[in-house]
Amino acid sequence: MSDAMPDPDVNERLAQFCETKVRGKGSLSVVLHITRLARERGLPFDVTQLRTNHQGQVAGLGRDRVQRILAEYGIERELAREGGRTSRGSLGLAEEFAELLNQLTSLGTLGNTASERQASLASIENWLVQRVREYFNAEHLRISSDHSNTVSFLIADVLAQARQRQQEVPGSTVEGAVLQHLIGAKLAVRLGDDVITHQAYSTADVPTARGGDFDILPNAISIHVTTSPTERLIEKCKANIEAGRRPIIIVPDQRIPATETLAENAGLKNRIEVLGAERFISGNITELSIANARSIADQVREVIDMYNRIVTSRESDPSLQIDYA
């Protein structure tokens, strides 16, 4: 899709409109739909044609419509379950935004020919999609407080959310960062924050002279946390062993077989401990809840609170934080 930005005058009018009128996912859905409608039908709008036959909703607006638009920009996350269709004020907002586009058209701001107006509308749509990305980027990950779910399920679910975000932003490392800080939080709660040193996810092992992502010095243990085990990681574990340390690799459960194969190929299968992250965290939370005579829910909350403190102090991306609700 086009990455062109709207004309500066258009950009200013859009920004002013969105600052006062577009506050959440429902309203974003509405203006995206109207912009696409303008591309499909051309401008100016007949605003009276925006209503359904029952006059209470925006014609054509819905979840599937919005998701199809976002999919063209590589966004698969759901913006709004109803696509803004049932939100109060959606119809009024749709008509106001359509009138804004009509005004820009009458002023010639969007261009003097149909092709120029199409190019301007494509730029406006791209601008709005960037607002959607910003909305998603500001949205925290979530862990359900439903006590009927196992802790391993909750951890797997939040990692799946992180993985989905990562797929939407090529080159990002959301899942890896979330996994590292979840493990760090669990270790800090279990062993004490003074025992565990936390680093930003982007910090490499070698420049900081660390044996792994987490070094438990009294026990000569180096813990490596990864979502994508490689031969290079096995080499780090080999260096741990040669330095008299005991390496542990923690990966998502589904990556255990691949990690064990890498260790076996290096002749180190019996020297490297490979653990699944979901069960590693779950088992420790269960043990802590028993030892501390606390509910599982309270123990999960303590780990998530610690995780959020780590993210706040070590990362610049607030969307990595987890809401427990």
Mean pLDDT by 10 residues, the chain (325 residues): 66 91 88 96 90 80 93 87 64 93 92 92 94 85 88 95 83 91 96 89 67 90 96 96 97 97 97 97 94 92 96 89 90
Predicted local distance difference test score (pLDDT) of residue 204: 54
Element (H, E) at 222: strand 221-225
Predicted local distance difference test score (pLDDT) of residue 299: 94
- CA–CA dist 35, 54 (Å, integer): 22
Q: Which residue has the tokens 């780090």?
A: 236
Give pLDDT tens digits for 99-125.
999 999 999 999 989 999 999 999 999
Predicted local distance difference test score (pLDDT) of residue 164: 87
- The domains of the chain are located at 8-138, 141-324
Predicted local distance difference test score (pLDDT) of residue 207: 61
- CA–CA dist 306, 301 (Å, integer): 8
Predicted local distance difference test score (pLDDT) of residue 203: 74
Q: How far is CA 109 from CA 36, 96, 105, in A?
A: 18, 17, 6
The reported pTM is 0.69
Predicted local distance difference test score (pLDDT) of residue 248: 98
Predicted local distance difference test score (pLDDT) of residue 105: 93
**Mutual angle of helices 296-314 and 151-168, in 10-degree steps:** 30
